[in-house]
Amino acid sequence: MKIFIDPPNSMILFDLVERFGHEPLSTMAVIQEKVDNIEVDMPPMNVTLDDVVKGLKYAGVEVPSGVRGRMALWGPMIEAADAAIIIDEPPFSFGCVGCDRSNELAKYLLKRRKIPCLTVKYPSNEEEAKTMVGQIKDFLGGLGE
Amino acid sequence: MSEARITRILMISPDSSVTSDQLVRKVHTIDDGLSVKETCYGCLIESDEKTMSKVMAVVRETYHNEVFSKVRGFPMGDPRRCRAQHGTRPGYSQLEAEWECLPLIQSALDDIDAGNTEYTVPEEKKPLSVRQMKEISEAFR
């Protein structure tokens, strides 16, 4: 099954989803598409006209362009996902997680699709790590093939 | 995703005794037709999809929970990302932050592999009711 991961570039989630036998949907795959096929220099910072149109499907024209740019990448992945795993309250100062509004909108779109969603937290000790990994394993195991 | 090229990051957990050099040598022996680049955190591999799935199967079997991996959008040594050519590295702070978490994830996976699958489910936080909020506010009046 296709699992949307949030943060969409998280290595931990990507690895765990693959380990437990499912296909993670991540920003890296979308970026590869742009780098290889249309030779965009700095995706997701550089966007094409198509991206702007795609982004408008998820966020209105008055919404900051950063939100629309992110949604142009994440929106189609959310639509293709069969389930989602979200890490709650990630340190939002790094990576492509830098926009809290986009994160909120992505979570809203996931809820609106009514697909199975699991929310976990980055662990700070062994007990929390076991809870996180255990929850992800059980969640993915319960989804079936 | 493009079928022609798959680039992956392999990252060694800080708790592991495996070195980048050992990992690169191992990966090189798995199959021909793949490029490997040693890095401070592990290595980068680039090949077609078939070879990559073979490499990942062997890496997971050999190093179990010590090596973590994800796909990388840019090709190996791309001038837009390569440090040698002053490329920008926007995703690296996320990688560094998650690298610090890897020993915890590794030990959790080891525990699960050992059969200890029990864990405590965290209590779900509920919003404060208006009545409780009112009581708290009145207590401090």
Q: Chain A residues with CB inside 8 Å of B98's CB? A: 10-12
Pairing relationship of beta strands A83-88 and A117-121 according to DSSP bridges = parallel
HSE (side-chain half, CA atoms, 13 Å) at B14? 11
Minimal CA–CA distance to A107: which of A135, A141, A70, A56? A70
Q: Chain A residues with CB inside 8 Å of B107's CB? A: 126, 129-130
Q: Chain B residues with CB inside 8 Å of A119's CB? A: none
Any idea of the CA torsion for A141, B2, B4, B5, to the nearest 10 degrees? -70
Minimal CA–CA distance to A25: which of A71, A112, A85? A85
Helix (H) or strand (E) holding A68: helix A65-80
Q: What is chain B's pLDDT, residue by residue, as a tens digit (141 residues)?
A: 446 789 999 999 999 999 999 999 999 999 888 999 998 899 999 999 999 999 999 999 999 999 999 999 888 877 777 767 766 666 677 888 889 999 999 999 999 999 988 898 888 888 899 999 999 999 988
Indicate whether A97 pLDDT > 60. Answer: no
pTM above 0.90, yes or no: no
Chain A contact present for B25, CB below 8 A: no
d(CA B25, CA B27): 6
Share of chain A above pLDDT 90, in %: 46
Chain A contact present for B4, CB below 8 A: yes
A26, A42, A131: residue with CB nearest B119: A131
